Amino acid sequence: MSARAAVAVTGLGLVTPAGVGAAATWAGLLEGRSVAALDMELTGLPVAFSCRVTDFDGVALLGHRLNRRLDPFGRFAVAAAREAVADAGLGPGRWPAERVGVVLGVGASSMSGTEAAVEMVLEGLPDRVSPFALPRTLPNMAAAEAALDLGTQGPCFTVSSACASGAHALGVARDMLLSGACDVVIAGGAESGRSRTSAASFARIGALSTRGDEPDLASRPFDLDRDGFVLGEGAGILVLERAADARARGARVRAYLSGYGASADAHHITAPHPEGRGAIRAIRAALADAGLEPADIGHVNAHATSTPMNDVAEAGALGEVFGPLAPPVTAFKGVLGHAMGAAGAIEAAGVVMSLERGLLPPIANLDKLDPAIDLNVVTGRPRQVRRAPAVSTSFGFGGQNAALVFSPA
């Protein structure tokens, strides 16, 4: 690993539909069962199921006042950030606050709060709109609230590139460390996109699975019978430091974020380039940044949304980069659904845990591989793999592409 690549992951925090906390999420991924279920908040819509965070007790985790002030994506972000910082052995008083940054990816924040405020205005009740209605739904508020909660005073901002937001945020955070702008960066993504407006719009686009009679079978990456993604939510936070700094303070290094690549398709507002050209460029850029060759990669964590076009395009891109001897490929959206702006960060945290254990969770609901997809997919049960670097991919509307390379510690 080159000197440029020496950025350590020292802490993880997760809030996902599989559970609150990194351990609970990992256990859910290993089980390989989708958590999608009917969603009462979406009743009456063409698609009325989702992957929800169901066991999050905001009052117990955050206290009544903070829980009341925040929208769901902000709650998830603060809770995951607290877990990640504690996992890293850091926190207020243990760092120079002005040298600690917060960079979070957010795609759509939490439209449900805006919907509630608009409903009040339309009913002629503007005086009943919460004073927090606007500030708590701003996309930058996940990062801002995490900084407020932890007392960090370094750079604090939001990256928004649709479903690649979380991965881009991690890449930007890595660059901030390598440039010397920060000594520690709390990075990742947060999202709660299960609003009625989001669900209706995605359904109109034709992006969502319509398997409403069997929601737990709806998200099925790379499967022949896939018909769209399932709305998800959550947050994934990683604490990043320069490796030399982490070693100097005796921190446990969980993995290294050793490469980052990004590109744009410049092809279509929602559809990927059919040949995956932008994805190919991003993956190759991440490998070059890490100083690695395709043969050095031990596994790929695919974006794999379970949509017909996207999965084929991504499979083609992976085939082009890695060739006929491609490494094993897994994907988490079969279990967790699609957390959009948070997905890349949640999946990055999962990659770190995979590298620590040499174990890949299976792709949920992948019963019959699409004949158009020629990949070495992980199905049925977890698979042991060699200790080697891994690639994680993320792609978003507008042709936003990101790839990250993680290396075992």
Active site residue 273: no
Can you read off the two tokens belonging to residue 145?
Answer: 């609230």
Q: What are phi and psi of 316, to 5 degrees?
A: -65, -40
Q: Which among 51, 156, 163, 182 is annotated as catalytic?
A: 163
Q: Which among 168, 273, 299, 303 is annotated as catalytic?
A: 303
E runs forming strands in 222-302: 233-242, 255-264, 299-301
Checking 374-382 for CB contacts under 8 A at 24+ apart, the result is 374/315, 374/319, 375/222, 375/315, 375/318, 375/319, 375/326, 375/329, 376/326, 376/327, 376/328, 376/329, 377/222, 377/328, 377/329, 377/330, 378/328, 378/329, 378/330, 380/32, 381/32, 382/30, 382/32
Active site residue 303: yes
User: Is 47 within 8 Å of 113 (Cβ atoms)?
Assistant: no
What is the end-to-end Cα distance of the chain in Å, rounded? Answer: 11
Encode burial over 259-296: b for 16+ CB neighbours within 10 A, e otherwise: bbbbbebeeeebebbeebbbbbbbbbbbbebbebebee
Kind plus residue range of the DSSP H or E element containing 191: strand 184-192
AA identity, residue 297: I
**Unique residue bearing structure tokens 């936070």:** 237
Active site residue 268: no
User: Is 351 within 8 Å of 392 (Cβ atoms)?
Assistant: yes
SS3 70: coil
Active site residues: 163, 303, 338
